[in-house]
Amino acid sequence: MDRRVFLQSAGASLLLAGGNLAWAQSAPRPLPIIPLTDLTGGIEDRISLALNPATHDFGNGVVSETLGINHNYLGPVIRVKQGQTLPFDVANNIGETSTIHWHGLHIPGDVDGGPHQEIEHGSVWSPDVPIVQHASMNWFHSHMHGKTAQQTYKGLAGVLLVEDDASLAADLPNTYGVDDFTLVLQDKTFDDSGKMAYELSAAVFEDGFEGDTLTVNGAIAPVAQPVPTGLVRLRILNACNARFLRLSMETGPITVIASDGGFLSSPVEANNILMSPGERYEVLVDMTAFETNALKVNLNGNGGGFLSDLFGGNRSVTALSLARTDMRGFDGALPTQLANLVPPNSADATVTRDFQLNMNVGADLAALALAWENVCGDAGAMAINGQPMKMDRIDEKVRKGDTEIWRISVDDQLHPFHIHGCSFRILSQNGGPPPSYAAGWKDMVHVDDGWSEVLVRFDYEATDHTPYMYHCHILEHEDCGMMGQFTVT
């Protein structure tokens, strides 16, 4: 029996044994609107971000121990404008070393916030982060090597929205919390007492940590939100450690307007979209056509397949339900043109690099789970091109300004591959063309059977003191060594 099929059937019987309880949903809670720090009008002071231990009720009436950034769980939504420089003061009070990486930003290695830019407990990291890129939804999260999974799961993550003149003037909903919503999707596990839990085992290392409960902005789904008649914009981040999510709308196709690195050339309608951990998509919902609508999430985005379908594992749950009111909001029409995107031209590339993601390179995952007390550490159970991540080894050297093709394949399972310091275009994904909603600017690509290929150019410097990372964004895989380092000079 193929290992993947076996794992799926094991999962299916677990679901049966549990009576599918995890999939049952309660009455909706109000959608938490993450506090907005809007700096598009100008920046007067340094921007303080404090990483703190905290407690948070996800909505089940039980207080869980969490980490937060200026808040009790997760960080603020920070909205900035192209051309600004962001003077951050990131203070670490969590009792252990951490880092904050700006995922999606086109910035030099020395402000990227990767594993080399450790912020010890009690100290402050003060990078000046230049915003050069155009409008896009980005995020920030812990990148502490060996502990990224655990620290991010506990709450060290936030959203960074970049606007530009065109996006602010565009005929699109952009009133935060009225017709423009930021949604952070995560899967959580709660223990018998109702507290958020995270525990590593060999199986969790293998598949990444997957919780059985969907949360939206730190509240157990479903959540509900009244909205104006007209178009409503949802800016969605999959901030799960390991879970691929398949998103759809209750009433029909889902309309996608932007991917990780910015707007698509025009809106794309799809039956559903598959979002890996780390990916962002923006969608528009037309609330003139229906009085209510809902964003549905299939937690078995990774595939699920026949057995999972058979045992009811493939059901979608409601993430967010929307109810129309006569409140005023954006009343324009669905745009037909969004951005000028020329198709990627692989003939521009002068260098091609191959990356093979390796699941197991010999280490005993069960022993690791025990020995490392819930962190993978520098154990190197997984690898890229046979080499587990090493902080003092540079794996690739890229020349600044060169256009390259990066080809990625894997020996087993579906993985989300991410590259720092850039946006790229997907030439092929799993041996075929990418879905049209993934054909624009991206910094994440899915890797399963067949090669995934991206066309990428690096315009900023990263030296061997502060190299960029490329890695699997299943955070347990990343922590376990499925990561490499490169310089751009």
Stretch (H or E) spanning 150: helix 148-154
Interface residue list for ligand C2O (CB under 6 A): 101, 103, 141, 143, 278, 418, 420, 469, 471, 473
Q: How far apart are CA 485 and CA 377, in angstroms?
A: 17
Judged by beta carbon, residue 179 or residue 395, the one nearer ligand C2O is 395
Of Cu ion, ligand C2O, none, which one does residue 278 interact with (CB within 5 to 8 Å by kind)?
ligand C2O
- CB closer to ligand C2O out of 158 and 278: 278
Binding pattern to Cu ion, positions 100-119, x when CB under 5 A? Answer: ---x----------------
Out of Cu ion, ligand C2O, none, which partner does residue 141 contact, by CB within 5 to 8 A per kind?
ligand C2O
Q: Which amino acid is it at 279? A: E
CA distance 51 to 55: 13
**435-449 as b/e, with b when 16 or more CB fall inside 10 Å?**
bebbbbbbbbbbbbe
Residue number, 74 or 287, with CB nearest to ligand C2O: 74
| Residue 474 interaction partner, one of ligand C2O, Cu ion, none, beta carbon < 5-8 Å per kind | Cu ion
For 479, list phi and psi in degrees, rounded to 5. -60, -30
- Minimum separation from the CB atom of position 125 to ligand C2O (A): 16
- For the CA atoms of 131, 462, 394, 200, the dihedral, rounded to the nearest 10 degrees, stands at -20
Q: Which of 147, 442, 471, 477 binds Cu ion (CB under 5 A)?
A: 477
- Minimum CB separation of residue 232 from ligand C2O in Å reads 27
Task: Give residues 68-107 in contact with Cu ion (rule: CB under 5 A).
Answer: 103
Place of tokens 């490169």: 486
Instruction: Write down the least CB distance from residue 486 to Cu ion, Å.
Output: 13
Q: Which residue is nearest to ligand C2O (CB)?
A: 103
Q: Residue 415 or 471: which CB sits closer to ligand C2O?
A: 471
Is there a contact between 238 and 276 (Cβ–Cβ < 8 Å)?
Answer: yes
CB of 444 to Cu ion, least distance (A): 9
Binding of Cu ion by 420 (CB under 5 A) = yes
Distance between CA 307 and CA 101 in Å, rounded?
38
- Residue 346, amino acid: S
Nearest to 146 by CA among 94, 197, 98, 209: 98
- Is the Cβ of residue 246 or residue 473 nearer to ligand C2O in the bound state? 473
- The DSSP H or E segment spanning 56 is strand 47-57
Contacts of 394 (CB under 8 A, 6+ apart): 464, 467, 485, 486, 487
By beta-carbon proximity to Cu ion, the closer residue of 67 and 482 is 482
For residues 39 and 78, the answer to whether their CB atoms sit within 8 Å is yes
Shortest spacing between CB 269 and ligand C2O, in angstroms: 28
Residue 184 interaction partner, one of ligand C2O, Cu ion, none, beta carbon < 5-8 Å per kind? none
DSSP 343: P
How far apart, in Å, are the Cα atoms of 458 and each of 384, 405, 424?
A: 20, 12, 9
Q: Is 243 in the site for Cu ion (CB under 5 A)?
A: no
Q: Which does 116 bind (CB under 5 to 8 A by kind): ligand C2O, Cu ion, none?
A: none
What is the smallest separation between the CB atom of 160 and ligand C2O, expressed in angstroms? 12
Nearer to ligand C2O, 222 or 416 (CB): 416
- Please report how many Cα atoms fall inside a 13 Å half-sphere around the Cα of residue 204, on the Cβ side: 22
Minimum CB–partner distance for residue 423 and Cu ion (Å) = 11
Note whether 472 binds Cu ion by CB under 5 A. yes
Q: Which is nearer to ligand C2O, 278 or 380 (CB)?
A: 278
SS3 314: coil
The binding site for Cu ion (CB under 5 A) comprises 103, 415, 420, 472, 474, 477
